Structure 1
């Protein structure tokens, strides 16, 4: 009897142990299975319905402004005054007019086998090459004109080879730079009224330069506003530059006028400005 009781107790203990093992395994499996707890977020309601959100209005981004790479009208090189016209088509070979030339030559490369008297003939002058469209006299009197025997080149009058019809007699350039011609004339007009400080030496004067931007002018060529962009190293020179500018400003007592600009140039200057470099190297005492 005791033996049976012991076996029953052992069997009961085994059953209990088996149940404990299964329970602990189930708990461990549930723990490591990563079960997620769902958190419900109730929407914000207004009178039982979803609340309306305020509309946000954002301005649409416009196109990026790309300014034309025109810089500013600047007086840098003024073309020399001339009668050059715009070329159409391919460029033509050009040369200066040639004076009349008489060619005289004797063949001395070989000794003639038979010597005979040859009657003297008058030397035939080579006709001069002139511009047939030119109404004035030829340029034979020009000293140092280069000679060119190339018959393919059409003789061209000197005033059509250099210069620009919009240039200035004080200009130094031989090519036209559109947009800068008016500013070049402005610089020359200012140069005429500029008074060099008497105690500045010629050597020092050549090293001085001041940059002024004309910000506004009117149709009559009067300066209505300007600003200094870069000063020189000499205050007296800068003061002389400002005095020259003010001679074209009515509100400063000036009574001079710049060349009258056309409508396009006037609008451009009043929107972008016009830079004038006052270079002491161009102001002679």
Structure 2
């Protein structure tokens, strides 16, 4: 088997193609997020209002009514600046290599930006911690495997019950099933495939794609899959994106209710300095990176959740 070492071969006796890089680019779940309304976008971020429902209901009332004001709240979801590392390429490299390195660098930046946005969104959707009656975070209870307890069908039922009592029902009932979304991580996806006994009486409600093997639906919850997942500490707090996994940390599967999400990318800039502007280096260098502004967040701290593997 060929071993990879540092550096790149020059032109002589080299196949021109690059070896495939095996990375997880799965970001399908992004289509389930709510887009930002055009009229609400400002230089500061996304502005939003909310009326607090204080309407009472009476039966056989005998006293005069008193009109009440309905108060509101407002907030701003700020923009985040999203960047890739700059990459430099020298004119000497371009002359010596068997492939167009500048072109390939652009491709790698696009791929890196896509992965970064996906991980950024995953962490934004995940609850920071368990909030009873608003953002449930439950632990698994199955058999011990590789230092954690597996997710069982009963665990998924228990989580589903927690979501049902949140009354996440949109006016258009024909669409509402598509508003319930869960992103399964790799461990939990395997756990549900193994837990055949628990699903024996509910096979029709745990739906797989017969061609791809992907989970598609659990009752009225749309299921997504991803090998990337938010990381939680042993005490159940969400860790920052890119954190190093420590003893007791576990990856989560996350739930989100589409109408309470917002996602938008804009002003993606390609920042490129050509080598003919480099008057200093003996081998002139070009530089390339991507920068953009985007936002993803919870419109309100309600209708999100997570399932975390319990430590063994």
Whether the TM-score (by the shorter chain) exceeds 0.5 is no
The structure whose RCO (Cα within 8 Å, separation 6+) is larger is: 2
- The structure number with the bigger radius of gyration is 1
Higher strand share: 2
TM-score bracket for this pair, using the shorter chain length? under 0.3
